[in-house]
Amino acid sequence: MKKIVFVGVAAALFTGAAVAAPVQWAGNGHWYEYVAGPVTWDGALSGAASMSHLGQPGYLATITSEAEQVFLQSQGWSLSWVGGSDRETEGVWKWIAGPEAGQAFWDHGTTLIYSAWGSGEPNDYNGGEDYLQFNWGGNGPNVNAWNDHGGPGSSYAYSHGYVVEYGGVVPEPETYALMLAGLGALGAVARRRKAA
How many CA atoms lie less than 13 Å away from 76 in the CB half-sphere?
Answer: 0
* Shortest Cβ 32–Ca ion spacing (Å): 8
Nearer to Ca ion, 37 or 147 (CB): 147
H/E stretch holding 32: strand 31-35
Nearer to Ca ion, 15 or 126 (CB): 126
Nearer to Ca ion, 15 or 110 (CB): 110
- The contacts of residue 175 (CB under 8 Å, 6+ apart) are none
Using DSSP's 3-state secondary structure scheme, residue 27 falls into coil
87 in Cβ contact with 127 (< 8 Å)? no
| CA–CA gap between residue 55 and residue 34 (Å, rounded) | 18
Find the residue with minimal CB distance to Ca ion.
Answer: 62
Nearer to Ca ion, 39 or 72 (CB): 72
Q: DSSP per residue over 61-81, as a string?
A: ----SHHHHHHHHTTT--SEE
Pairing label, strands 110-111, 31-35: unpaired
* Shortest Cβ 35–Ca ion spacing (Å): 16
> Which residues sit at the interface with Ca ion, rule CB under 5 A?
62, 121, 123, 125, 129, 147-148
**Helix and strand counts by DSSP (H, E) for the chain:** 4, 11
Nearer to Ca ion, 37 or 117 (CB): 117
* Shortest Cβ 54–Ca ion spacing (Å): 16
* Shortest Cβ 128–Ca ion spacing (Å): 10
* Shortest Cβ 79–Ca ion spacing (Å): 13
